[in-house]
Amino acid sequence: EEGITVDELSQKIGQTPANVIKVLFMLGTMVTINSSLNDEQVELICMEYGLECKKVVPVSEVNFEDLEVVDDPKDLVPRPPVITIMGHVDHGKTTLLDHIRKSRVAEGEFGGITQHIGAYQVSVKGKKITFLDTPGHEAFTAMRARGAMITDIVIIVVAADDGVMPQTREAVDHALAANVPIIVAINKIDKPGADPQRIMTEVSELGLMPEEWGGDVPYVNISAKKGIGIDELLETVTVVAELAELKANPKRMAYGSVIEGRLDKGRGPVATLLIQNGTLRSGNPIVVGATYGRVRQLVDDRGREIKSAGPATPVEITGLNDVPEAGDKFMVFETEREARHVGEERAQKKIEEERNSTSAMSLDDLFSQM
């Protein structure tokens, strides 16, 4: 969860960052201009200045829950686990995923950096596993946070020649906050000077006690590049997933999250979705974030057009009016009329939110001129 920083808050309330830092200091907390503040701290500062503070929930986080159907337990069937691969930049996340699905994403990527979260499904001994890749670059905190939220298990990749780095810590924090099982993959053990034992000690200090030291976190030594330890890692994933007894209801209308949205010159708005529950079919009326439409093309992770997809499956769809944002929620509706109604309402709400944040901005301008 990303809080507002001291700098951002002071701009919003028209105080200098030094004043905000002073208030918190007097209340016993040391912060810097770039520290992010939790809700309680924001509230304390607002109280200090006699302001009323209200947290604006972005439209992407508004749930469809008032419309949601509760599943009948007898409709629930086992579903594939969703695994997110996280870790510091260049520690080998994409190479690992790449090795797992035996294609070559890492080489094709611009500059070798994962720009977007990728989503793929693979079969391990006849059992499906869905993998999400996340970029390690520091600018992508929100993606890692979302990745942790929609996932069942997180694999933290740590390069044995580099050790715990800032995005390693941050990824672990997201995974712990999401309260999902964690598997640590110590990568690049093929490299001269790699010291997996030292890395294990470092990572364990983040609160991830290894199983072999009496804790509950599996650690696996791998080389994503040479293909060492991958089978053991997948085996571990399968064991952890089985313990979780994941179930979903393929009979219901689909809902889930947007992994990525983009505008394609020929196909129009394209969204990569992770179906979290239900079955998505081509032709379904759908609301995605603040946009809506009818699923025109449904494409699987290998680019094949399909008619329907079940729980825990990543798919690409076309047929939306606008490009949704990563992290937006989606939901299928009975009729196109309903989808349009809900979609337009949400679009309206989003416009209002944007207008509100603009007026807050001009208030800041006013303050800065005083």
287 forms bridges with which residues in the sheet? 292, 331
According to DSSP, residue 321 is labeled S
Shortest spacing between CB 80 and ligand GTP, in angstroms:
22
Is 93 within 8 Å of 45 (Cβ atoms)? no
C-alpha to C-alpha distance for 270 and 277, rounded to whole angstroms: 20
* Cβ-based neighbours of 157, under 8 Å, separated by 6 or more: 85, 86, 87, 91, 92, 93, 96, 185, 187, 224
Stretch that binds Mg ion, among 30-38, 113-121, 284-292, 357-365 (CB under 5 A): 113-121
Answer for which of 5, 60, 114, 313 binds Mg ion (CB under 5 A) is 114
C-alpha to C-alpha distance for 98 and 337, rounded to whole angstroms: 42
φ and ψ at residue 205, rounded to 5 degrees = -70, -10
Stretch that binds ligand GTP, among 27-35, 56-64, 218-226, 313-321 (CB under 6 A): 218-226
Say whether 91 counts as a known binding-site residue.
Answer: yes
269 forms bridges with which residues in the sheet? 263
Positions in 86-125 near ligand GTP (CB under 6 A)? 87, 89-95, 106, 112-114
Smaller CB separation from Mg ion, 93 or 146: 93
C-alpha to C-alpha distance for 132 and 147, rounded to whole angstroms: 7
94 in contact with Mg ion (CB under 5 A): yes
Residue 344, binding choice from Mg ion, ligand GTP, none, Cβ under 5 to 8 Å by partner class: none
Smaller CB separation from ligand GTP, 92 or 293: 92
Smaller CB separation from ligand GTP, 187 or 272: 187
Residue 177 corresponds to which tokens in the numbers above? 């906050």
Residue 91, binding choice from ligand GTP, Mg ion, none, Cβ under 5 to 8 Å by partner class: ligand GTP
136 in contact with ligand GTP (CB under 6 A): yes
> Angle formed by the axes of helices 336-369 and 6-13, to 10°?
80
Stretch that binds Mg ion, among 114-122, 190-198, 205-213, 337-345 (CB under 5 A): 114-122
For tokens 């009326």, what's the residue? 285
Instruction: List contacts with ligand GTP (CB under 6 A).
Output: 87, 89-95, 106, 112-114, 135-137, 187-188, 190-191, 223-225
Task: Please state the residue numbers annotated as binding site.
Answer: 87-94, 133-137, 187-190
Instruction: Tell me the binding residues for GTP.
Output: 87-94, 133-137, 187-190
